[in-house]
Structure 1
Amino acid sequence: MMMISVVVILVFCSFHLASQESHSLTLSATFISGETQFPGFIVVMKINDIPVEYYDGNIEKIVSRRYWRSDNTIEQYDLKKYIVHDFYSYMTSFSDVMKRRSNHTQGVHVSQEFVACDLEDDRLSRLILLYAYDGEEQAKYDILHKERKSIVPEFLWNQSVLDAMQSLFSKLYQPLCVSILRSYLQQDKNILLRRVHPKVRVMKKAHPGSGRTEVTCLATGFYPPCINMTLLRDGQPIPDREVTAGTVLPNGDGTYQQRRSLRVSDEELKRQYTCTVTHLSPENKLTVNLEAGPDSATLWPIIIPVLFGIIIIIAVVVVCWRRRVAKQGAI
């Protein structure tokens, strides 16, 4: 499911970096054919990249993920269940076509559908569909602009099918997406509209075996997961080919982290390294310099003996206290 996760973040962030009044509703459906321990069919609905509901094919129910609410009632349950079955029907056909084209008669294969609608300044700004098979995108449709692209002829809709899909989306999915998005943003605005800016550090770590030092810029604790990071050397951006860029990762507390690193020689380390981080908008820009002092690898030989000595002192104090208490009890 990595492909869909990356797409979700890219689609979501492309709007938030452009406007703080942009919001996104996404549906990610995964259909698995073959023997697997995972549910054969699951759909996850997210608002601004926060999971709010999901459908589990094993129990055939829609379940709330709004842990911050005491009432877990699913609004418009029957209509959402109809949409889930519509997804399932289409993805079953999609999976059969792709397996036949790829000559896949055995094994586990994953089909995915991704739908996103976005409100920008409270107006629908994008409605797209993506289809993927075994991690590779197969088709993309832009409903608002009536654009379609597919590497699979069976999914390159002709004009009559496209007109039918346009009608279905304009009468059902488009108004439903907008109404659900607006409703959730109003009900759960304290969670869905929150802004948490990143904490940024630029650190160094020696690698004695290679004779080089790793310089890392770490931004963590931010939400939403939209961020631009640039490592600079003497005030100039370092070429991408020299930098190892990590993906945006969840922290587990609803915030995210990302890092960029490069390895330099002792001579290069004498130069000035800084990191600029932009979150949400160009105005929210942070610039952080490389931390002075020894790196973390150098500090551990100092920290470990100190900690060991503190533990010994505490143990001696506890033993002496217990002996004293025992003597007083004997008297």
Structure 2
Amino acid sequence: KNCFMLFIFYRQNVSCSHSLMAFATYIIGQTPFPEFSAVVMLDDLQIMYYDSITRQAVHRSYDDSKHYDEEKSDAGVIFRDMYNDMKGRAFYLKEHLNHTDGVHVHQRLAGCELLNDDKPGPLQTWDAFDQKNKEEFIFNEEKNNFQIELPWIMWDNLQFAHMKFLYKTVYHPVCIKVLQSYLQMKKNNVMRKVKPRVRLMKKTLTDSQGLQISCLATGFYPRHINLTLFRDGQPVDDDQITGGEILPNGDGTYQMRKSLVISEEELREEHKYNCTIKHLSLDNKLDITFDVADPGSFSQSVVFSVLVFMCVVVPIITALIIWRKRQAAGKCSVKFS
């Protein structure tokens, strides 16, 4: 769960760059799931799957790359190495942390990134065991620097040098190569820009006489979006807002909704509420103002509009009926004369 939330946070905060990420899980104990499994994502598009039962890298879509066999072989090497490493570390941690028998889960999020200028970014790996412990590996190719944050295991110089060698000569170049290859093949999917459709909603709260306003942006891609609710030009505090999660639509696009409850007292104060949206598909931000007229006044205006409609339309309809009857009567008199 920790690694998955890291993935969500990571993708929400990367706007113009592209990443190749593997989300891997190793399970100690009896479950209906494979002992080891991994899903590879190009940005938010799943491209590959591997597990310890088939021991084969399965592509989720047709791969017409002339380097397909080479890529499949590279993926097999990486996944087998990750499987053995996570297995060894999981059993070590189980003993080291004095966990009892049962089901224990070791998760890993690992991958690389191409920055906005197509320059390779760092290779990073995050580990979590039973959702409580974290460990991070970072290799920066530009600085030729390898570091470990919050290590679970004490590393000697030889182990450190070996891991740096693997990250530099195997993991990082293979990750960047596969990322560039799939980015070229899937560019129509991952590099497209779809503008959000925005809908403002309000609902009267009968129990409190207040009002709930909601701003919904849907149908956008890529998934990174900035949706902010304002009160009198100032952002509304997050603890007053509900929603805000980015959710997938069935067509490969995304949606986000944020809601705010306005009390009856606040309605009388006549604040101005806005919904502002920023997205890569938009040249300028969208800024839309809510109509938060007092619900009572709104009801009165509706009643008044209905009365006006009745006063104007009903006489017209009545006159039309009388006219048609007179026309019919005239035709009958001519016929029988």
Report TM bin, short chain.
0.7 to 0.9
Structure 1's 285 and 39: CA in aligned 2 closer, same or farther, altered over 3 A? Answer: farther
Separation of aligned partners in 2, 1:59 and 1:134: 25
Separation of aligned partners in 2, 1:42 and 1:251: 25
Separation of aligned partners in 1, 2:213 and 2:88: 49
Structure 1's 252 and 7: CA in aligned 2 closer, same or farther, altered over 3 A? Answer: farther
Q: What stretches of structure 1 of length at least 5 have no aligned partner?
A: 299-331
Give runs of aligned pairs for residues 114-133 of structure 1, distance below 5 A: 114-120=109-115, 121-133=117-129
Q: 1:103 is matched by which residue type in structure 2?
A: N
Q: Is 1:83–2:78 an aligned residue pair?
A: yes
Pick the structure with greater CA Rg. 2
Report if the CA contact (8 A) 1:200-1:288 is conserved. Answer: no
Separation of aligned partners in 1, 2:55 and 2:205: 52
Separation of aligned partners in 1, 2:210 and 2:94: 48
Report if the CA contact (8 A) 1:201-1:288 is conserved. Answer: no
Three-state SS of the structure 1 residue aligned to 2:223 is coil
Between 1 and 2, higher relative CO (CA 8 Å, sep ≥ 6) is seen in 1
Three-state SS of the structure 1 residue aligned to 2:264 is coil
Q: 1:265 is matched by which residue type in structure 2?
A: S
Q: Is 1:208–2:206 an aligned residue pair?
A: yes
Report the alpha carbon displacement of residue 294 of structure 1 after superposing the two structures with TM: 10
Q: What stretches of structure 2 of length at least 5 have no aligned partner?
A: 299-337
Three-state SS of the structure 1 residue aligned to 2:177 is helix
Q: Is 1:32–2:27 an aligned residue pair?
A: yes
Structure 1's 184 and 217: CA in aligned 2 closer, same or farther, altered over 3 A? Answer: same
Q: Is 1:62–2:60 an aligned residue pair?
A: no
For these two proteins, the number of residue pairs brought into alignment is 288
Separation of aligned partners in 2, 1:38 and 1:291: 51
Q: 2:43 is matched by which residue type in structure 1?
A: N
Structure 1's 3 and 248: CA in aligned 2 closer, same or farther, altered over 3 A? Answer: farther
Separation of aligned partners in 2, 1:70 and 1:115: 22
Structure 1's 70 and 203: CA in aligned 2 closer, same or farther, altered over 3 A? Answer: same
Root-mean-square deviation over aligned CA pairs: 2.8
In structure 2, the residue matched to 1:194 is: 192
In structure 2, the residue matched to 1:314 is: none
Shifted more, 284-293 versus 244-253: the winner is 284-293
Report if the CA contact (8 A) 1:201-1:290 is conserved. Answer: no
Aligned sequence identity (%): 38
Report if the CA contact (8 A) 2:108-2:125 is conserved. Answer: yes
Separation of aligned partners in 2, 1:56 and 1:291: 53
In structure 2, the residue matched to 1:8 is: 7
Give runs of aligned pairs for residues 79-228 of structure 1, distance below 5 A: 79-120=74-115, 121-144=117-140, 145-150=145-150, 152=152, 154=153, 156-228=154-226
Report the alpha carbon displacement of residue 244 of structure 1 after superposing the two structures with TM: 2.4
Report the TM-score, using the length of structure 2 for normalisation.
Answer: 0.77
